[in-house]
Amino acid sequence: MAASVSVSVSVSVVPAAAEGLRAAYTSGKTRTYEWRVSQLNAMLKITTRHEKDIVLALNSDLGKHEHEAFLHEISAVSAACRMALKELRLWMKPEKVKTSMTTFPSSGELVPEPYGVVLVISTWNYPILLSLEPVIAAISAGNAVVLKPSEVAPATSEVMAKLLGQYMDASAVKVIEGGVQETTALLEQKWDKIFYTGNNKVGRIILAAAAQHLTPVILELGGKCPVIVDSNINLTVAVKRLISGKWGCNSGQTCVAPDYVITTKAFASKLVDAISSELERFYGKDPVNSTDMSRIINSRHFERLTKLLDEDKLFGKIVIGGQCDKTNLKIAPTVILDPPLDSLIMTEEIFGPLLPIITVNDIRDGFNFITSKEKPLAAYIFTNDRKLKEDFVQRVSAGGIAVNEVTIHLTDPALPFGGVGESGMGTYHGKYSFEAFSHKKPVLYRGFTGEISARYPPYTTRKLKFLKAAMNGNIIGIIRALLGW
């Protein structure tokens, strides 16, 4: 079903594009199993046949190493396609439900149906994964969909527009590139669902626009994701995982990357030394020149991060790193020990390769610190203490939690991924992606037998007794009412 999608769509044609999608959905073709499978197979071809094109685009936008591009984006999109192809018939099957005495005799089921025409607004830090996985979900559920990639990652945006135009059904799957004007024009249209990945500020704009049409939304936002590091751990393994999740994932430009660490004053020096040693093993003595670390997306974000780092309040607090290369937009892995809690680095989401460590007298004091803040997208703890794990899971509210790990919980399709409070609303991944773009339509089936006169006038005391007994499941009461006792 190859068709062309314009690489650059002007604001003036956005309404027509939305109308075209609506017509395609109304025709019914996107609801069919065959259409969904054809589009999922087309998406799979994009990730397998054009891996090099995608890697080059990611490197151009973010300086991503091929290893990271494949591991964190290309393979994840392929896996989402394959899972959807494998499970789609089961996901589409109506779910039988047990009906109550009040509707006896009857049967019921929940029929998953697509919302209709959906809008996916993506972000720049994982521009392939965070664009195509929601599109896969929308297609799996039988929707027509328009993707608005981030203009901050122009090379990736261009390659997606080109490849989706080449492989997908352009009457029902469109890519609209552009910036704020195009996004604004899109938000002025009526959609049946909006999926947005990005920051809180824009999230509020999306939510306000959606309210005009009572459009349901999924907001995948961010927040300051905390990590509790207890002393009762395998320090080497814990530090490797911490480094991988912070600096090995897009140089910290990741919504679930550790934003700050909490440990005890007694353990802090051991933790800092271990991080320093492992960072050198990972990225060498001159990490700014390591090709294994992504660069900062652009000069604006580079300046934002260096502003956090250069604040006077951090004088003497940097214990690892701090080197910056403005020309190549690289910042070395940097650790700041006990920055003031009112410093910018502790009040703003970092979204970069800077990691504050906050020390406390007792590790449980860290729980109070976390719960005093807005709910994060993810929260992590490293400990071998069973009770500490249990208390952390019970007390800390977050979009998701990982114990003795960071970030990789979102790669498991059995676990829904999403935020809570300031970190977002709604979840996806695996079957949850299909459900995110489906309305579970309840359907009740009855025949023409089993009529009960008690539901109809004229109302009598006997009929009321029968109804009360029936609704309370009181069999003896039902019999007495029928017999007139």
Residues known to be catalytic: 220, 255
| Rounded-to-integer distance, Cα 481 and Cα 471, Å | 13
C-alpha–C-alpha distance, residues 380 and 377, integer Å: 10
CA 158 from centre of chain: 23
Bond prior to 287 in cis (omega within 30° of 0): no
Q: How far apart are CA 64 and CA 83, in angstroms?
A: 26
The torsion of the CA quartet 189, 195, 196, 202, rounded to 10 degrees, works out to 40
Strands lying side by side in the sheet with 260-264: 318-320, 334-337, 354-360, 260-264, 226-229, 378-382, 400-403
What type of residue is 394? Q
| DSSP code for 31 | G
Residue 238 contacts by C-beta under 8 Å, 6 or more apart in sequence? 229, 382, 404
Among 136, 182, 169, residue whose Cα is nearest residue 29: 169
Contact 117, 22 (CB under 8 A): yes
> CA 218, CA 321: separation in Å to the nearest integer?
37
